[in-house]
Structures are given as C-alpha cells and as structure tokens.
Structure 1
Amino acid sequence: MLMGEVRAQEMQWFACRVKRKQVGAIRTVTVGGEFVAYRDRAGRVRQRRVDGTGDRVFLPEHLLRRAGFEVFLPVKKVLRRKNRFSPGKHLVSQPLLVDWLFVGWPIGESRWHELMAMDVVTGVMGTGGRPVEIPPARVMRLMRKWGGGHLSPECYHYLKTGCEFAAGDTVRVVTGPLEGARVRVIDVSGPTVKAALDILGGEVVAEIRSDVLEAVSSEGVK
C-alpha cells in the first residue's frame, strides 16, 4: 500500500530516538535548489548550489520520509537574530524534543526490520522489551500544536478536516486594525490562531481570532 493512500487515523505511531552523530540538536541540511557548474583549481568540473535556493530540512525526518515512513517531528518557533551584524530577528524552526520524533506506518504492516536497518534511529519507546504504540488521537493533537508547517501532505490534509487552518497556512485578516494583512499560521488552538506577521522588516507573533481570518489560495501566495 502506498503511503499517499493511507489516512493519518489509520496509522500506528511510535516514539523513536534519533541516533546522535554530533553534539547539539538534530542536524539540518539543504536539499534541492539550483546549481551552477564551475571549475576548481585542478580544472575539474564541479557544481555548487546557488545561494538562497533549496529547502532546509531536518536530516533524520528527511531520510525516514524518503524511505517511505510517515514522520512527525514536533517543532517550536523561536526568534533568532538573522546574523551577528544585524539586530533584526526572524522565526526559525527548532525541534521541541531532544533526539525524539514519531514514526508511523499503516496498521497491519510490520516495518521494524526496515526501520532498525537504517542508520537513523537508535531505539523506540517501550515497556517490558516491547514498543509502545502512541494513540493516533494524541499524535494528531501534538501535530496541531507543534506541526510548525513541516507536516507531510497526508497528515496536513487530515488536520485540515474540521479545521479551516493549519500551521504553515497563509491567511488574510478580514476585519479589525490588521484588516488586509497576510499572516502565517504558527499554531491553531481552539477559537484563536497564533500567527506571524511582518512589521518593519521583522516577524512579530500575535494571537488572532480565527473568525476574522480567511484562507488565501495558493495562486495568491507569493
């Protein structure tokens, strides 16, 4: 069964510990982007990525998804300086849990051999020598709060069922002092939405009532 055909509520989830290969948090890498050819000092043809292109991803999450697993890495948004020369700050994603993420696959399948054969995880949360399955409803609640716009398409579409917005959406304020402003959803919590908006070149996080927001179509997002 293809992963894209599996609805999130038909998954079984397990908390897995990432194999640490460096000091610090889970490593990030840049994938994709545009490349240009050049010659090094020895005259050999090389390629380098064009600055500003490609997507920044968390390496363990990227490797597991590429292997066909469904993965949820809880992330939080923190304000960091853009660089050491500028006082301006911007929001960056940071793993919420040190060395832990959730891995899932369709109910009825057993993929432990494939998972443990990868040089990515070192173990799984369990008791009495047996893995403990994390209730899907609990995983969905965590996704709503800590998805941070990094969810896979399958889980993203599931979370939008019964909820107009999800983390990572761009929405428009339709009334009030911020009328017309476009903001990026960070978290949905009941009747309010935590969103980031650009003010004077920096990002400010605000809590806005969801009933004064409307979705912006993908064609309208620049």
Structure 2
Amino acid sequence: MRKPRWYPKGLPEAKPALTPENAEAKRRPSRSRLHLRPRKDHTLAELLKLAEGLEWYGLLVTAQKEFAAQVILERYGLATYVPCRHEWRRRSKYSKAKEVKTYAVAPRYIFAGFKPGTPLWFDLFNLPLIHAAVGINGTPKPVPTVAMAQLLRKTGGGLSAPDAHRFMKTHHEFAAGDEVEVTGGPFSGWKVPVKEINGGTATVIVQLFGGAVETLDLPLELLEAAE
C-alpha cells in the first residue's frame, strides 16, 4: 500500500484553469525573439526578410560554444545568426558509419542583430560565453548591410559537403581532378589523379609500365587526398 503524500506547509495551490486568454498569454513570448540558426527549412527569402531592419555585429564567443552562445543571446531577446557547414562524420569512435553533423563556418564567431541604436555592451558582455565584439581600435563596428545580405545568400541554407564524403576518410576528402593516394589493394602507395566520382567509387587514371594509360574504378574508402 502506497504511503500518503504529505505536504508540511499545506496542500499545494491549485493551478488556474486554462482559458483561451491565459493560453494565448502563455504562448506569447515576453520579448521579441528571432533565432536565425540556419536550417534546411529556412528559405533564403525568409532569412533575408527576418534579418532586415537590424544592425548586425560580429561577436567573439568561447571556442566550440557557438550554438550555446546563440541560445543564450536568443533568450536575451536578440536575433542571432551562425553560418553553418554540414559535414559527414563518424557517429562515434566505435562506428565506421557516418552521419551529417553541423559545425560553425567561422569558429568562435557568431552574428547578433540589434535594433538601430547603440547596443548595451556592458550587459551583453556579462552574459556567459560572450567575450568581445568585432570592431576597430576597440570600438565595435556593425557589419555593412550589403555584406550581411551577401553572407546570408551564400550560407543561408548551410554549406553541405558532397554525399561522396560519407565514404571518404575524414579530413582527407577529395574531388574530381585532385591527386589521391591508394591505401589498399595491388596499387597501394600509388598516387593517381581522379577523373570522376560516382557514388561510392572513383575513376582514377593509372599509368602502367610501358607508358600505357588505363582507367580504374576504385572504392572511395581505399583512397585519400595526396599530401
């Protein structure tokens, strides 16, 4: 038999009934929030529309904490933007399978949008993970509107690595036209140029003894970018 639940200071107060009025107030944020972490469901037009009318500054944050700093600034009521790249990385050191992971394009830097006027830098720098603002001679300078629009157009949907990278050795990826080194099989140690990449294989050009030139299809996992 379960023991009764005791409340030393009396029974807890009953919560007010949920009505359309207080439900709407609960949904409505207390501050104007705008979170511009790029996602695949954000179109370029939506990003440009959300970002217009604001003064954007580059902020220096703690290394590898760009997205955490973004959440803190968003809770403070600021618009934020972190240019991202999507890379194929192993799920763990125990697994060879890869999945797409998101990283900041410019490590340690994020962008914050303010309403026109002088931002409250003292309050901003008291927030966790925020260290400084990008500027000249110690004075923060806003990013030109044209430059910010160009950045959004270039990175608004995130920079995605080719699907073929999922089969390549991490940090040794390559593209058609690059020279690669064969790491396994009868041609191990050879350095050959890549003609094209199809799915999980690459067509390479091999110069055999006697000057004969042949093309071979090799698995991507047996190739890595030559140093």
TM-score range, shorter chain: 0.3 to 0.5
| TM-score normalized with structure 2 length | 0.46
Q: More strand per residue: 1 or 2?
A: 1
| TM-score normalized with structure 1 length | 0.47
Larger RCO of the pair (alpha carbons < 8 Å, separation 6+)? 1
